[in-house]
Structure 1
Amino acid sequence: MTVRVFDDLSDLGRFAASHVVEAILARPDAVIGLATGSTPLPLYHAWAEAVALRGIDVSRVRGFALDEYADIDAGHPESYHSVVDREVVQLLGLTPSLVAVPSVLATAAEASAYEAAIAAAGGVDVQILGIGRNGHFAFNEPGSALDSRTRRVSLAPETIADNARFFPSEADVPTEAITQGLGTIMEARKLVIVAIGESKAQAVAAAIEGPVTTEMPASIAQLHPNAVFVLDTAAASLLKRQD
């Protein structure tokens, strides 16, 4: 496990994006796991900057989003179908048909089909991740099995409250979702985990320095052979081993 801490968000974004760019340069049809929310935005902007400045061909890059709200209209501006298209596909110039998002139907059949699609693509080369305030990866809330697969889940109250900023009110936030499981995520060849802000510091410290436990889903990254934590100084502020 590697941990890097940055004072500047632009530097953080460029370092995080370098792992994605490296994978694409090695294989133009690389498979990238896509996270949503505000945390990965510096990475996506730095990736787009690298594409523009270096003339990197991303037309064959394949993508799989981590999760999606259950039973939301896929055309809703805050559905992850819309967010991924707006903040990743259009920004980077990816080929839309090569980027998949879990179905809003969130059925067991749709979950199995998503797992099969990832496997058929050869697995994920680089998985981009954020950490929830309660330590979740994707929508794997505390208590999720470490070997869990893609499935329908209920969202924790903290997650609903945190995501309320994207909706008119907390009452408008969906309460269920479909998410890749922790076991699915761990099969990616590299994890790039981004955390920004003081509100993530407790979860970051527990994930990196605490025990591996289902109550802190992000702690499973300790077991991955190629996990990189990319933090700003606020998110890293509670780490004991600052060196």
Structure 2
Amino acid sequence: MKVLFVKDYAEMSEKGYELIKEIIETKEEPVISMTTGGTPRGIFKLLVEDIHNGLDISHTTIMNLDEYIGPRDAAYTVRTFMYQNLYDLINVQPHNIFLIDGATEDIENEINRYKEILQLYARDIQILGLGTNGHIGANEPGTPFDSTMFLAEHTEATIQSTMKEYNIERNDTPTQMLTLGFTEILEAKKVVLLVSGKHKAKAVRDFLEGDITPACPASVLRNCENTIVIIDEEAASLLDKAKYL
């Protein structure tokens, strides 16, 4: 695992986007898997700007890490985020858009469908964010490190984070999510974890300096050579920086 320290959210977004752009420009049929929410918004803005300036994504496949269980057009869904922050803002669309269906009535079938897509389209890069309790995707604390795509129950910390991110009431907030498990996440050729903000500082310390344990889901990344972690100053504020020089 490689750790990069950056100044702030803007630089974190730039460094993360550079990795995505390089893959789009150098691979014949690049496959990008994104996360959503506050962490990658800066990356999406940079991607949209570059597409308007001529970046060709017509040969690119874009998929996603997870999806909330709920109506497809709800404010909080990954589908809504992807269209509002990317697909509705560009004239040239990716070659393939693969989204998980969180409105399905057949969870098992949807998991099998998306697993088949993952097998057909090997991901060049998987973008991740870090939850305040150390979760990645919806792999909450306690999720076994050999998890495969599954229906996850949100912890209260994640529910509160979703409420804040999408400005919705508790009763309107989803409590379940279809998510790639650690097995699928780590199958990507490159895994990039982005972390910004003082509210993530404890999670970063637990992730990097605590035990490697399912109690801190992100700690599974520490033994992965294909992982890059990009952390800004506020998120890194509780770390012993000398360990990383």
TM-score over 0.5 for the pair? yes
**TM-score w.r.t. length of structure 1:** 0.92
Give how far 1:8 is off.
3.5
Superposition map of 1:111-122 within 5 A: 111-121=111-121
Superposition map of 1:33-52 within 5 A: 33-52=33-52
Superposition map of 1:167-206 within 5 A: 167-206=167-206
**TM-score w.r.t. length of structure 2:** 0.91
Partner of 2:64: 65
- Equivalent position SS for 1:38: coil
2-structure distance, mates of 1:193, 1:226? 11
Give how far 1:137 is off.
0.5
CA contact (8 A) 2:207 2:216 kept: yes
Give how far 1:203 is off.
1.0
Superposition map of 1:26-105 within 5 A: 26-53=26-53, 55-70=54-69, 72-91=70-89, 95=93, 98-104=96-102, 105=104
What is the one-letter code of the residue matched to 2:112?
S
Give how far 1:115 is off.
1.0
Partner of 1:20: 20
Give how far 1:167 is off.
4.1
Give how far 1:216 is off.
0.7
Give how far 1:211 is off.
2.2
CA contact (8 A) 1:202 1:238 kept: yes
Give how far 1:240 is off.
1.2
Partner of 1:155: 154
The unaligned stretches of length 5 or more in structure 2 are none
User: For each residue in 1:22-70, what CA deviation from the matched residue of structure 2 results, as whole angstroms up to 9, or x when unmatched?
Assistant: 11111142111110100111222223334444x2211121111111111
For the aligned residue pairs, the C-alpha RMSD in angstroms reads: 1.7
- Equivalent position SS for 1:207: helix
2-structure distance, mates of 1:149, 1:92? 33
Partner of 2:133: 134
Give how far 1:20 is off.
0.5
- Equivalent position SS for 2:63: strand
- Equivalent position SS for 1:171: helix
Q: 1:8 to 1:196 in 2, by over 3 A?
A: closer
2-structure distance, mates of 1:238, 1:212? 18
1-structure distance, mates of 2:97, 2:208? 30
CA contact (8 A) 1:14 1:47 kept: no
The unaligned stretches of length 5 or more in structure 1 are none
What is the percentage of aligned positions where both structures have the same residue?
A: 28
Q: 1:134 to 1:56 in 2, by over 3 A?
A: same
Give how far 1:96 is off.
6.1
1-structure distance, mates of 2:223, 2:84? 33
What is the one-letter code of the residue matched to 2:132?
R
